Amino acid sequence: MKVWLLVLFLHTPDMPSIKYQAHLFKTENECITEKLYYMERYNIESDTFKETLKTNAYCLPFDSFPIPQFSNINEI
């Protein structure tokens, strides 16, 4: 089963590590839609906010073990 993982990289300058969140999606379209929404929300923030928080998002496909909640979806 192929699922899509949206990885959000959050980084604050002068911090020793990168913080991240990951979300699973059933389809690539769901992942891309959420990625665009996330980046739109970030882009409307103030410049001051964006000076202290740098972010990006990626949709990564991968083959997974069966996930019961995803078992009755149609592949695209």
Domain chopping of the chain, boundaries: 2-63
Return the pLDDT at 17.
66
Average pLDDT over residues 4-25: 74
- Is the CB of residue 60 less than 8 Å from the CB of residue 5? yes
Return the pLDDT at 8.
75
Average pLDDT over residues 15-20: 70
Identify any residues that bridge with 4 across adjacent strands, giving them in sequence order.
25, 61
Global confidence as pTM: 0.70
